[in-house]
Structure formats: structure tokens, C-alpha cells
């Protein structure tokens, strides 16, 4: 006998790369949702959802879309959460589980908790998966396979609601970790937000060079620079909101990086080969660890 779906009616608000990938996973399986609803402000996005047949209903009004749903996932930029929540909160049914996929979690609790209706369960989540592409056509069902998804349920969250969200991501192929929102924001500041900040900065530096030098940089770009350009091609709205909503953690990690970079610069200036070799060896060690953990 087939296992009953986790959700009777699941709504994805913002069917971009991650949102449309969730819809594709749920479409491919019969144990995640009985009915799939997608909502977006853009009619073009909704037309693509219909053409791709990744939802049973594509509804332009988020308030209508969430009605009758026992599961709702926010997949919009984190800066839009407060506005979306104000719009949908009166229409969320008691017992509904509200989750998200945002890269910052302190801001999620800040923006959603005050508007959470009685009887609605908030279980924030962050799938650590993505590409530099965006939109419904960019999604694919395998996006979450073998990737981490971090859950940050606030104290007092209903255990059954947390278990359902955990099961959703497990069925999508993710490995699960649970931590508090503050710890999450510091961790992702190091492993995700800071690398993106560096990539945007390096590409900006290259773009500011004199025209003849800039053309040579692009023509002879080595793999390291090409990797930075891939990261720097990420969605503008999403990353603007991430930096602004994880301000404290990003600035703390940037300060530490700046100190370490200055120390590296001093070692180069004064010919301290041992210091340079140590940093290179530590980088190689981190890379080996990632390969061993199958996260490379």
C-alpha cells in the first residue's frame, strides 16, 4: 500500500529555481503532496509553471493560493517575507505548516513570527542547494539530492510539524541538520554569504580595470576566476536581501577574513614562506575533507 502524502495541499510561493525544484520533486513522487499549488506575482512565471505542468494550480493571488493548504513554503527573497506574510496570514488555516527556503533565519523569525496566526506552525528550513540560474525553467528534481537542509524550528514548535518538514526534505533527497537560527546565520555567513561577497567584489574589481586590462583579464581568465564569475552570476534580489538580512554575521566574518588576508599580505611582503605554505596546506586539507564528505 502506498504511503499517504505528507500534505493534502501544498502551496509553493515563488516557483523559481528552488520553488520549482520542490514542485518537480513532489510531482515525481506520490508521498509528498496530494495537490500542488504555485503562486507568483508574474503572469509570465505562472504561464511557465502551467506549461511545465509542475503544479495542479497556478494562482496569481497568494492569499487565494494558501486557502485550504496544510503546507505552505515561502520561496521568495527573504526581504519580501514580511509583505507576503501580511498578505497571506489571515488566510492560513489552523494546523497549516508554514516553512521557507531562505538563506537567513534570524530575519525569518523576526518577520514571520509576529504575524503567525494561532494554530499555524512555523518550521523554517534552508536547503543548501542551488545554481546561478533562476526562474521556473531552472529547477530540476535532483537539485537537493545529497545536499544538506538545515531546519531551525523556534522553541516550542510542534514536534509533528517539524517531523513533517524533515520528512519532506528527506524525501527530496536531502540530509538534515537542526540548529538554532543564530548558529545557522553564522555558519552560512562563512560557507555561503562570504564567498558570494568575495565573488561579487572580485568581479567588480575586474570590471573597474582600465579597458585594455579588463579585456585581457576576461580573455585569459583561469579556472579560479571563472569559478568566481559563476558565483557572481547569482540572482540580484535574493543576494541583496541575504546581505541586508544577515548583516551582523556577514560583517563579523568579513572582519575576520580581512584580518587573515592582511596577515597573508604581510607574509608575502616579508617573504615568510612558512606562513604561506601553512595557508596553502590548510586549504588543501579543507578540500580533501569536502571530497571525503561527498560535498565537493
- Over residues 153-200, the pLDDT tens digits come to 999 999 999 999 999 999 999 999 999 999 999 999 998 999 999 999
For helices 236-245 and 194-208, give the axis angle rounded to 10 degrees: 120
pLDDT for 292: 83
DSSP 75-115: -S-GGGHHHHHHHHGGGPPTT-EEEE--S-SHHHHHHHGGG
| Mean pLDDT on 133-137 | 90
- Over residues 47-100, the pLDDT tens digits come to 999 999 999 999 999 999 999 999 999 999 999 999 999 999 999 999 999 999
pLDDT for 293: 75
| Mean pLDDT on 219-235 | 80
Do 2 and 30 meet the contact criterion of CB atoms below 8 Å apart?
Answer: yes
Rg, C-alpha atoms of the chain: 21
Q: Provide the residue ranges of all domains of the chain, joining segments of one domain with +.
A: 7-180, 183-292
Half-sphere exposure of 238 (CA within 13 A, CB side): 24
210's CB contacts (< 8 A; 6+ apart) are none
pLDDT for 194: 93
pLDDT for 53: 96
Report whether pLDDT(25) > 80: yes
The hierarchical CATH code for the domain 183-292 is 1.10.3660.10
pTM for this predicted structure: 0.88
pLDDT for 130: 83
- Over residues 194-220, the pLDDT tens digits come to 999 999 998 888 888 877 777 787 777
| Mean pLDDT on 103-131 | 95
The hierarchical CATH code for the domain 7-180 is 3.40.50.720
Could you tell me the CA-to-CA distances from 234 to 92, 95, 132, 196, 197 in Å, in that order?
A: 32, 35, 4, 9, 11
Do 101 and 125 meet the contact criterion of CB atoms below 8 Å apart?
Answer: yes
pLDDT for 2: 62
Amino acid at each position: 500500500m502506498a504511503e499517504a502524502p505528507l500534505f493534502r495541499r501544498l502551496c509553493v510561493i515563488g516557483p523559481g529555481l528552488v520553488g520549482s525544484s520542490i514542485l518537480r520533486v513532489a510531482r515525481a513522487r506520490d508521498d509528498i503532496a496530494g495537490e500542488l499549488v504555485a503562486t507568483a506575482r508574474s503572469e509570465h512565471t505562472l504561464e511557465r509553471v502551467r506549461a511545465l505542468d509542475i503544479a495542479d494550480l497556478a494562482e496569481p493571488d497568494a492569499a487565494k493560493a494558501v486557502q485550504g493548504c496544510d503546507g505552505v513554503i515561502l520561496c521568495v527573497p527573504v526581504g519580501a517575507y514580511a509583505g507576503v506574510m501580511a498578505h497571506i496570514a489571515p488566510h492560513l488555516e489552523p494546523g497549516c505548516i508554514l516553512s521557507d527556503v531562505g538563506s537567513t533565519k534570524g530575519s525569518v523569525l523576526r518577520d514571520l513570527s509576529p504575524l503567525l496566526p494561532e494554530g499555524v506552525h512555523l518550521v523554517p528550513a534552508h536547503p543548501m542547494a542551488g545554481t546561478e540560474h533562476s526562474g521556473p525553467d531552472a529547477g530540476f528534481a535532483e537539485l537537493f539530492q545529497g545536499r544538506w537542509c538545515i531546519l531551525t524550528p523556534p522553541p516550542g514548535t510542534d514536534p509533528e510539524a517539524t517531523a513533517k518538514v524533515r520528512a519532506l526534505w528527506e524525501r527530496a533527497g536531502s540530509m538534515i541538520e537542526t540548529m538554532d537560527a543564530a548558529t545557522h546565520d553564522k555558519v552560512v555567513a562563512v560557507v555561503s554569504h562570504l564567498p558570494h561577497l568575495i565573488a561579487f567584489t572580485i568581479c567588480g574589481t575586474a570590471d573597474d580595470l582600465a579597458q585594455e586590462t579588463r579585456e585581457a583579464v576576461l580573455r585569459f581568465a583561469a579556472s579560479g576566476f571563472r569559478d568566481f564569475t559563476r558565483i557572481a552570476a547569482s540572482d540580484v534580489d535574493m543576494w541583496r536581501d541575504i546581505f541586508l538580512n544577515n548583516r551582523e554575521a556577514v560583517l563579523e566574518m568579513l572582519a575576520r577574513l580581512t584580518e587573515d588576508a592582511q596577515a597573508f599580505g604581510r607574509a608575502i611582503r616579508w617573504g615568510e614562506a612558512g606562513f604561506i605554505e601553512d595557508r596553502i596546506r590548510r586549504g588543501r586539507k579543507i578540500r580533501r575533507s569536502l571530497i571525503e564528505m561527498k560535498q565537493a
